[in-house]
Amino acid sequence: MGRKPCCEKAGLKKGPWTAEEDRKLVNFMLNHGKCCWRAVPKLAGLLRCGKSCRLRWTNYLRPDLRRGLLSEAEEKLVIDLHSQLGNRWSKIASHLPGRTDNEIKNLWNSHIKKKLRKIGIDPLTHMHIIPSANEQTHQQPKQQRRHVDAWSDGDEKAEEATSKYCCEVDKVPEAEEKSAVSTSDRALDIADASLSSCPEFCTDEVPIIQPHEILNPCGSSFSSSSSSSSSASCSPPVHQQKLGEDPRISGVWMT
């Protein structure tokens, strides 16, 4: 039968969202709530396809999003859930309030996967990797040592405990799961202890963008004319903003 594209491609903007576009979308969503995504761009005055709007909203602008690093407990949960659900990121995300499938997917691919490999767990099967002599020589690329992991680097105890946890998760279902969990909790305790010396590492207090800050990102000085890269004095294009640097992000919205 052949599918039509989700939206007319011609004339629609692609690529990074500008602060102005964000403002329009948030404005619309807050005023009208979630409705037919196809209609959103038109009604909100955006030159985007509905799909793009949905993605931007669910992955970045949604008020209930928690941003920032996953806590140890969240990571553990992600690993647990992944071992049960596989790459069903949306299902996994549904167990982590305020987290998006995209975020978890990214985190898994860029971070957790490596951690698991590092401690000898195959991230696909969650089984132990039994490296051949060959593989062993190929592992540990030189770049890896500079990768700072909360779990392992600089905290051998945490790595030890964590790897112990992972061993048990592999083989121990239901009955002994509690002991596995408690082991992992120990790992977390250790990790937490090491992290507690670093007060900045607290995802519970990761600032989240507030609606009024989007609607008026820079207070009275916000200029709607500075839509894209020209907004340097106010807020840079959103895609250039690193977490925690986003001037619009502070506190938790819609409490």
Partner DNA sequence: AAAGCTTCCAACCGCACAGTT
Partner DNA sequence: TAACTGTGCGGTTGGAAGCTT
Options 24, 56, 62, 76; binder of DNA; rule CB under 7 A: 56
3-state helix, strand, coil in the chain (%, to 5): 50, 5, 45
> Least distance in Å: CB of 89 to DNA?
4
Could you tell me the CA-to-CA distances from 174 to 77, 170, 177, 232 in Å, in that order? 16, 11, 5, 54
Residue 123 binds DNA (CB under 7 A): no
Alpha helices, DSSP H only, in the chain?
19-32, 40-44, 50-56, 72-85, 89-94, 101-107, 113-118, 133-138, 156-171, 174-196, 211-215
Q: Which residue lies nearer to DNA by CB, 152 or 183?
A: 152
* Residue with Cβ nearer DNA (116 or 180): 116
Q: Which stretch binds DNA (CB under 7 A): 15-23, 164-172, 187-195, 198-206?
A: 15-23
Q: How far is CA 110 from CA 25, 193, 206, in A?
A: 29, 25, 20
Q: Which is nearer to DNA, 26 or 180 (CB)?
A: 26
Nearer to DNA, 96 or 180 (CB): 96
**Contact between 17 and DNA per CB under 7 A:** yes
Task: With H, G, I as helix, E, B as strand and everything else as coil, classify residue 78.
Answer: helix
Where does this chain bind DNA (CB under 7 A)?
1-4, 6, 13-17, 35-38, 48, 50-52, 54-56, 59-60, 87-91, 101-103, 105-107, 109-111, 114, 141-144, 146-147, 236, 238-240, 242-243
